């Protein structure tokens, strides 16, 4: 497993807090140990030799339990110190603040529009394409203000190309196209409601990316785009499993086909595999759904449209939506469900169906390397930490006894 995946899923800070909590138990134990050492001297006069012997035996029991706890703590700290340097190789997930968002989403003065990013589109003679958010109800003439390397500005009217999918919202994704004069080597660009560029501050300009045309030796040959993770998303296990499946599958390129469309199929998260083949205890401690346990899918319904997802060659895509490509170069292939289908683990859409009426589909089980790859990511991201080490050292009933004694509940 690689750092670009493990960086997406947490860290070992929770385990470190568990170690600190264990230290507090040890402090309690040592405090009670001092109390027990004082008690034999007080009771010696009344209880005689038998009472002294029992108190000393009891104190030895506390010493033994405290030593076990200290050894466990020392072992965990050694392991944590060994693992922490490895985390430096992984890139932490970016933290987005209001300031950084304001820097990336720039409002267009005197309008309700926004611009996000700009790049040179070599498919249309190097024109500048600006990805924008446009208010459909307040559209007016817009102008491209282009900064040239020669330290002057070039002004041209923007061509507005709204995406056809807006789902009824007042704002819509839009391409703003800017023609570039041959005498200008463009470096930055912005959009204005006026052809005058003298009052526009430099902070409102976007850098123009993709300056040089590339046709080979790309840095990446496969990229997964995932929708916004909304609603307090914490589905760590399913996220890791999904990424690892994508890495195994990859894509086989068909000549002249640039868009592959796959039908969505529902695998109810309320229905589980009865055999428990992939019901691993180590995964149950990780937040999220275990997709390998949900292998029953709902049958297709006649006259009900199945949403789709896409595999595309991005260099041949002009505009895309959530479930379809709106504009592209080359051919589009709708892949038969008998060849490939999308696994969507979620709440059932046909909840009245019994397990016997669902279709058993264990295709994901064929990828034997998948559990090992998932374990690798979870381990390197800190999800298999202190709790696992404690469980290895002592049986559960001994762990419970030790914790009760450390808290003084005996």
Please state the domain extents for the chain. 106-207, 223-381
Determine if the pTM surpasses 0.75: no
Helix, strand, or coil (residue 68): helix
Q: Is the pLDDT of residue 98 over 60?
A: no
How many helical (H) and strand (E) elements, i.e. helices and strands, does the chain have? Answer: 8, 17
What confidence tens digit (pLDDT) does each residue in 140-191 have?
899 999 999 977 889 999 999 999 999 899 999 999 999 998 889 999 999 9
What distances in angstroms separate CA 227 from CA 16, 87, 88, 320, one per listed residue? 32, 27, 28, 13
Rounded Cα distance between 267 and 409, Å, is 47
Region 200-208: mean pLDDT is 85
What distances in angstroms separate CA 187 from CA 30, 159, 182, one per listed residue? 68, 19, 14
- pLDDT confidence band for 262 (50 / 70 / 90): very high
The neighbouring-strand residues paired with 342 are: 264
**φ/ψ of residue 364, rounded to 5:** -65, -25
pLDDT of residue 77: 63
- pLDDT confidence band for 219 (50 / 70 / 90): confident
CATH number, domain 106-207, options 3.30.160, 1.20.120, 2.60.40, 3.30.70: 2.60.40
Q: Is the pLDDT of residue 370 over 60?
A: yes
What confidence tens digit (pLDDT) does each residue in 325-361 have?
999 999 999 999 889 989 999 999 999 999 999 999 9
- pLDDT confidence band for 226 (50 / 70 / 90): confident
């Amino acid at each position: 497993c690689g750092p670009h995946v493990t960086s997406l899923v947490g860290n070992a800070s929770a385990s470190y807090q568990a170690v600190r909590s264990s230290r507090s138990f040890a402090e309690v134990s040592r405090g009670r140990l001092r109390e027990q050492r004082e008690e034999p001297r007080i009771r010696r006069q009344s209880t005689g030799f038998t009472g002294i012997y029992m108190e000393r035996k009891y104190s030895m029991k506390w010493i033994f339990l405290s030593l076990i706890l200290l050894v466990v703590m020392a072992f965990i700290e050694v392991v944590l110190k060994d693992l922490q340097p490895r985390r430096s190789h992984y890139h932490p997930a970016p933290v987005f603040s209001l300031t950084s968002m304001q820097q990336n989403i720039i409002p267009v003065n005197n309008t309700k529009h926004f611009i996000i990013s700009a790049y040179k589109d070599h498919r249309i003679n190097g024109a500048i394409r600006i990805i924008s958010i446009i208010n459909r109800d307040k559209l007016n003439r817009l102008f491209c203000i282009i900064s040239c390397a020669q330290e002057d500005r070039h002004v041209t009217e923007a061509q507005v190309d709204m995406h056809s999918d807006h789902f009824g919202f007042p704002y819509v994704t839009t391409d703003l196209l800017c023609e570039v004069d041959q005498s200008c080597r463009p470096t930055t660009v912005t959009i204005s409601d006026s052809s005058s560029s003298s009052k526009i501050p430099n902070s409102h300009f976007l850098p123009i990316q993709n300056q040089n045309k590339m046709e080979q030796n790309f840095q990446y040959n496969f990229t997964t785009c995932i929708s916004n993770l909304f609603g307090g998303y914490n589905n760590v296990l399913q996220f890791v499993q999904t990424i690892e499946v994508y890495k195994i599958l990859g894509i086989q390129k068909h000549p002249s086909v640039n868009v592959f469309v796959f039908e969505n199929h529902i695998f109810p998260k309320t229905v589980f595999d009865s055999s428990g083949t992939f019901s691993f205890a180590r995964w149950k401690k990780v937040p999220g759904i275990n997709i390998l346990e949900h292998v029953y899918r709902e049958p297709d319904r006649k006259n009900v449209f199945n949403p789709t997802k896409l595999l595309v060659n991005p260099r041949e895509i002009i505009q895309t939506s959530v479930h379809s490509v709106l504009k592209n170069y080359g051919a589009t292939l709708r892949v038969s469900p008998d060849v490939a289908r999308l696994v969507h683990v979620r709440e059932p859409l046909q909840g009245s169906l019994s397990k016997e009426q669902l279709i058993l589909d264990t295709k994901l089980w064929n990828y034997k390397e998948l559990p090992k790859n998932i374990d690798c990511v979870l381990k390197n991201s800190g999800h298999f930490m202190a709790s696992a080490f404690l469980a290895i050292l002592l049986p559960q009933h001994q762990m419970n006894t030790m914790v009760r004694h450390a808290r003084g509940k005996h």
